[in-house]
Each structure stands twice: as C-alpha cells, then as structure tokens.
Structure 1
C-alpha cells in the first residue's frame, strides 16, 4: 500500500505534491469533468445567470425553471417516469428511504452506502453473491406483503458488476420495491451513460417497483443527487420535509449540466478509448479484476501502489472501511488521461510484473 500524500490543488490527470508532479490514476471523477475547460465555462455562464448559490426552498413562491428542466431531462435521459433532485446524493438517498420508512420490510445488500441507511443498524457486510440466495429465501418467507430491497448497481471497490441475474427469481405474489444505488455507474454505464435504470426496468416483473438513487458528483461532476422512479413516488418525495426544508442543488451547475450534453458524450468516448488502450498495452490483464467498459481495475498485488508511487504515479490504495481492514488497491482511469499517460502507466505495471 502506498503512503498518504497531501496536496493543495485539485487532481486531474496529474497531481503536484511538494513540488513534484505525479500522474494520478485515482478518484471517482471518471469523465474528468472538474478539470474539463468546456464544462467550467458552462458553470461560469450559469453563475453569471444564477449566482454562486440559491439559498432558498424548492417550496418558495419564487421558482427557478432550471430545476424542473433538469428533472424533466433526467427522466427522458434515463427512461424513468419522473426524477427528483437534491443538493447531494446522500440527501437524495435519505429523503427516499426515510419517506418509505414504515411502508414495508427493508432488506439490505452488503456494502450498501450509508446514504440509503435508515440508521446504522442497516449496515450489512459480506459478499454480495453469498447474500443473494438467503435474500431470496427471506423475501419468499416474509409475512409482510411489501418488501423493499436496497443494493448497489455495482461494486466500485472490487470492480465487479452485480448483473442482477436473480431478478427473475423474485416472487410474483408480493409487492416489491427495488432501490438501487447507481452512483458509480451513472454517467458512465448504460446507453449514453444513462446508468442502470432502463436496463433493469426492462427485466422487472409487474409487481416490482424500481427506484434508482444516485450521486451526480462522480462521473458527471455535478454537486447534486437524483432519485429516478415513478411519478407517485416522486410526488411523495416532493411533499417530504427534505424537499421543502433543504436548500436545492446549485442552479449554475444544473444549467451547465443541461448545456454540456456534447461535453459528457465526448468525455465518455474518450474514457472508453482509454480503457481499451490500457487493456491492449497490458502484458497480463488477468492480474486485475475488472468488467467491460468500466474504468476501475482492482489490483490483487497491493505492493504495486508503492512501486508506482516511487516511479511518480499515484493510484488508489487505502484500508477500507476501517484502518484495521485489508487495503483496497485500484487503478482508476479517467477521460482526462492521455495515451502517453497510459503508456507510461502500463509500461511500469508490466515492469512490476517481471520483478
């Protein structure tokens, strides 16, 4: 595992530490949006129109059209009936689960993000695949008629796509709400980066209600969160105290989100090209865990992080979820990386494999 580093600048494709420049293959900014100049210009346009923040309630007698415009766009983009935005993915997730609290029996998958916990008692650890069988038994045996399943769309730490092959095994005689956290897929996976909503919706039986919650702050670089679902649920969220009592997402960023569809599209194509280039230049791609068209590569030999850092390259490596746990080490690509960056990275990885 590599040593911790400290910096006073936002990392992009590189990072400066104590005057030394490192290549940076870490973080969750998969599309490189925070350092994308075209996006920054759109944010500045948005700030010229809306200011730096809108510190008011969505229930105010003054309504900014950009909120509804973004939510209507998100619904069309993802294939959902309706969308609901808040100032963060965490707050959007809390609004969702707290609104549904008491309406059914919750079952949590391992490693679900705290944003979707009702309390710390909802924390579940373990292996996702090992959870599926007991979960299906629990759903079938449950006395409650409404079951609320909560899980992630993928595992960004172990670079695994969950796949959801178990959906067809869900019983048809119960009402089921499936809540999926797509924070690490939204903007990258699915058609045009629209995430997992449409893919899952097409596979669900009529008794299963799909709800997707996501941060927009990772691949898309927008400090906001979104809930995607049916209109009845979104209307319930709009009547919650979370909607009226919390400040909304920053309008300037929502304006930039609407203006920058071509920017996101170009960045996605660049990211896919970088993923292909990385795999093509590895002598032993099997040393990583990964899945198709996703920029996270799990590292099995944790010593790689220290070796790369000595050579001027920083990858993700830290003990998770507590300092007592085993390290999680990953190479994370972004759209900001150049072919030369990836050439240098793969050359060093190939050298390490020969040591």
Structure 2
C-alpha cells in the first residue's frame, strides 16, 4: 500500500512515474514544459557540458569572464523587454539578492503567499488567510497614511496553488506621492504565461511612476537550476556591485548554454502544453470541480478525496499540506507537455466518473 502523503521514488517523473514496480500517470510537479525529461534538451545540455564542464564555481567578478553569462542576460532582457537582466544560481538566491540589497530603501509590504525567497527574515512571513484581492484593498487604504515615503511591494504574479491569475490594475491606484518599487515573483509564470512565455514583465513594464523588479526561478517551466532578475539598468548595476552577488557562485554555464540553444524546443513544448490544457478542459464534464484560468496547466480542487480516488487508479496528482504540515492539503491536477491524448482521456474519464459518483450520492 502506498502512503499518499509520502511517496518515494528513485527516478524523476515525466508523464509517468514508477513506484514499487507499478506505473502511475503523473499529473503533479512544476515541470510544466516537461523539459526536465526532454531528450532534446539533454542533448543541448551535454553540448554545454562539453564546452563549459560540469560547474563554474568562481565569482562572477573574477578576472575570467565567461561569455555565456552576458549572452544569456542580453537575450533575457530582449526576450522580456527589460532594460537589463541578471542570472543567479537559483531563484531563491535571486530573490534574496534583491530584498537584501533594497532592505533599507523603504517599507516592505508583503502580499499573502509570497515565497520565502523574498523574505528578509522570518518576521516577514506573509502567510495570512486573507485573499489577495482583500490584501490589495487593505494596502491601498493604508499606504497613503504610512510615514515612509518609499514603499516596496512584494507579491507573486499568480497563485499556482489555488490557480488564480492576478490582475494588476490596482497598481494604477497607488498613491503618487510615494516612491513605489514593485517586486513580483514570476517563478510559476515565466516560460508559460505572457507572449512567447516571457511572463509578467512585458505586461507590467509600462507602469508609470513604478520601479518594477521581476524575479524568477528557471526551475519550473525551463527545468534549469538558475534564477533571474529583471529590472532597470541602475538596479542591475547596483545588484552586480553587491557582496552577495560577488561572493556567490553563478548559474552553471552549461545550463545557460542549453537554454540559449533550446528556444525552438521551448516554443514547441509550450504549444503542446496549451493543446493539452484545451483538450483536458473540453473533456471535463464537471469543470466546476476545479478552479483554473486560461492557458495555465494547474487545476485546483477543494475535493481532497479526488487525490485518493485517482491514486487508487494509478494516477498521482499534487496533494500535500502547505505551507506547513498543520495546514490543509492543497489538491491540484497539473498537466505538462509530455502528456499524450491517451493520458488525458484516461485522466478525464476517471475524474468524470468521480464527479458522476458524487452526483449520485447527492
């Protein structure tokens, strides 16, 4: 019998996962484009390893400068429309570099659900039960009266846990007498959302009177152990001059090489993902069981029993207590680019059967 709250495997899942000799359809995780199991990407990565070795542990400020870092950052700035970009060895370190550099430049206001990568300390833990929209309204009411002239707002680009897409129309209502920096974590959007997967930056870059900073992990859609910061040139120059940046090992060069040489692969995987999302939605007989939004592969449900039901039928979805073991489980069906139509037929048949059973029980 498999413990649904602790499943151990000795391989990385793709469209399926083998557990104790049994194959499960895998509809969990954050590898939205399936890159972590892509043979084509692995070939590009091997070429990167041949050129750059397995790691480069020197400071980015050393007297040896690898060209691939500049190439990747120039590409990322062009790709997203940012003035400048900076890569780090992880999304967590990218977030910490930003908040530690800016920590004395204004009052931080954290939206609920903001990842620990953007906390300055545990005291910033923003896991409140208030919904995002309520936080926005409360913040807009309080911000004008705050004594600090500079405010630093920190939030996610979307909610990947309960599948909610955030509107940023509220930014136009911020008090103009304040100097506002908006830091957005786009880790679960970058590579999937926005034009050509460029994420939230192109949508927000035209904001008037707002200093925009976007941080992201490469580890979700792109399957790369690295982090990213997008912003204006002055900020990126400031970050480069920090001891945190100078003292940290950079992203593994071979992965950035593979990223630069896999753009067609990413585009094809994104199109396949969108096709899978549409196919799944069309076959759902009771879409009201889920919360979801357009062209995003996460389908949240309050039906915690669905996880056990699917597990009994050898389908593993995401269901675990978050952010702490004392919290209620977050249950989601998560699609990726590797799923076949046969996979989705099987998945929706089971979900439709579950929904029909609930209707019969009244």
- Provide the C-alpha distance between the structure 1 equivalents of 2:141 and 2:70, rounded to a whole number of angstroms: 41
2:343 match: 341
1:332 match: 334
1:66 match: 68
The answer for unaligned runs of 5 or more in structure 2 is 358-362
The one-character-per-residue Cα deviations of 1:58-87 (angstroms, maximum 9, x if unpaired) are 011111000010000000000100001100
Match of 2:170 among 160, 166, 175: 166
1:249 match: 251
- The 5-angstrom pairing of residues 101-250 of structure 1 reads 101-124=103-126, 125-126=128-129, 127-202=131-206, 204-205=207-208, 207-250=209-252
Give, in angstroms, the shift of residue 322 of structure 1.
Answer: 1.4
Which of 308-317 and 139-148 deviates more? Answer: 139-148
Structure 1 SS opposite 2:211: strand
- With normalisation by structure 2, the TM-score equals 0.96
The one-character-per-residue Cα deviations of 1:129-179 (angstroms, maximum 9, x if unpaired) are 111111112221112111100000000000001111211211112110000
- With normalisation by structure 1, the TM-score equals 0.98
Structure 1 SS opposite 2:6: coil
The answer for unaligned runs of 5 or more in structure 1 is none
Asked whether the equivalents of residues 158 and 298 of structure 1 are also in contact (C-alpha less than 8 Å), the reply is yes
Give, in angstroms, the shift of residue 4 of structure 1.
Answer: 2.4
Give, in angstroms, the shift of residue 3 of structure 1.
Answer: 3.9
Asked whether the equivalents of residues 3 and 306 of structure 1 are also in contact (C-alpha less than 8 Å), the reply is no
Asked whether the equivalents of residues 56 and 247 of structure 1 are also in contact (C-alpha less than 8 Å), the reply is yes
1:315 match: 317
The one-character-per-residue Cα deviations of 1:77-99 (angstroms, maximum 9, x if unpaired) are 00100001100000010000000
* Equivalent residue pairs, number: 353
1:285 match: 287
- Provide the C-alpha distance between the structure 2 equivalents of 1:258 and 1:138, rounded to a whole number of angstroms: 44
The one-character-per-residue Cα deviations of 1:104-127 (angstroms, maximum 9, x if unpaired) are 111110110000000011111222
The one-character-per-residue Cα deviations of 1:273-292 (angstroms, maximum 9, x if unpaired) are 00000001110111100000
- Provide the C-alpha distance between the structure 1 equivalents of 2:29 and 2:301, rounded to a whole number of angstroms: 15
- Provide the C-alpha distance between the structure 2 equivalents of 1:128 and 1:8, rounded to a whole number of angstroms: 38
The one-character-per-residue Cα deviations of 1:204-228 (angstroms, maximum 9, x if unpaired) are 12x2110000001100111100000
Structure 2 SS opposite 1:289: coil
